[in-house]
């Protein structure tokens, strides 16, 4: 399948073709490894990260919708995981440096902005799910009634037999938890760089 284009391989991959998956792996794994190993010292961690990227590509092949080359999407996924590694290991000064030193040959690729946005959307969804899961039972009820069932504060207060003031305070706390969760992610730490490099590309 070496002669197949990325688009052809992707179409086959979405149908569950393992040979197409293997072809994409052999086409881009070494390139990704080279880029990631420049940013993470542990080669064992780099190996794990590359395997995780391709596992995600396989598992979410029905979700990802690249319009051109696959590599920018893979690169976006790699950067997202490197940022997560930096955050988990408290090496925050490297955040902005990573964004500001993208390889020149990637800067001009039209697919790169959407690749990064998709990678970050994936992380944001995970953060939201984790935050919801960590809410205390009553606060979780308030969240569901307000944001999933679109109930008013008065309706929530009546359903849960609590005062509207209590509901208001619970919602305020929920919003703060979401804000804190996102604040500790790569989104806000690098937002200015993301906007300047990608969104205005």
Distance from C-alpha of 128 to C-alpha of 111, rounded to nearest angstrom: 26
pLDDT tens, residue by residue, 48-79: 999 999 998 898 888 777 767 788 888 888 88
Query: Can you give the pLDDT at residue 108?
Result: 44
Q: Of the ranges 60-74, 113-127, 170-184, which one carries the lowest mean pLDDT score?
A: 113-127
Query: Can you give the pLDDT at residue 113?
Result: 53
Extents of the domains making up the chain:
6-199
**Arithmetic mean of pLDDT over the chain:** 76
**pLDDT for residue 141 is more than 50:** yes
pLDDT tens, residue by residue, 12-39: 998 889 999 999 999 999 999 988 888 8
- pLDDT category, 175, cuts 50, 70, 90? confident
Note the pTM of the prediction, 2 decimals. Answer: 0.51
């Amino acid at each position: 399948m070496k002669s197949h284009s990325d688009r052809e391989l992707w179409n086959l991959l979405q149908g569950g073709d393992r040979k197409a998956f293997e072809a994409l792996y052999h086409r881009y794994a070494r390139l990704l490894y080279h880029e990631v190993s420049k940013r993470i010292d542990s080669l064992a961690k780099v190996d794990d990260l590359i395997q995780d990227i391709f596992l995600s590509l396989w598992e979410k092949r029905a979700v990802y919708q690249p319009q051109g080359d696959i590599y920018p999407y893979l690169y976006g996924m790699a950067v997202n995981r490197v940022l997560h590694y930096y955050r988990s290991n408290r090496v925050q000064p490297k955040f902005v440096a990573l964004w500001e030193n993208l390889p020149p040959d990637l800067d001009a690729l039209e697919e790169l902005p959407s690749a990064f946005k998709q990678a970050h959307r994936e992380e944001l969804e995970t953060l939201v799910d984790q935050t919801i899961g960590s809410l205390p039972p009553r606060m979780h009820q308030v969240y569901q009634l307000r944001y999933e069932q679109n109930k008013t504060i008065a309706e929530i207060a009546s359903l849960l037999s609590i005062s509207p003031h209590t509901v208001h305070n619970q919602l305020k706390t929920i919003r703060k938890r979401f804000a804190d969760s996102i604040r500790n992610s790569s989104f806000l730490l690098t937002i200015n760089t993301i906007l300047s490099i990608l969104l205005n590309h």
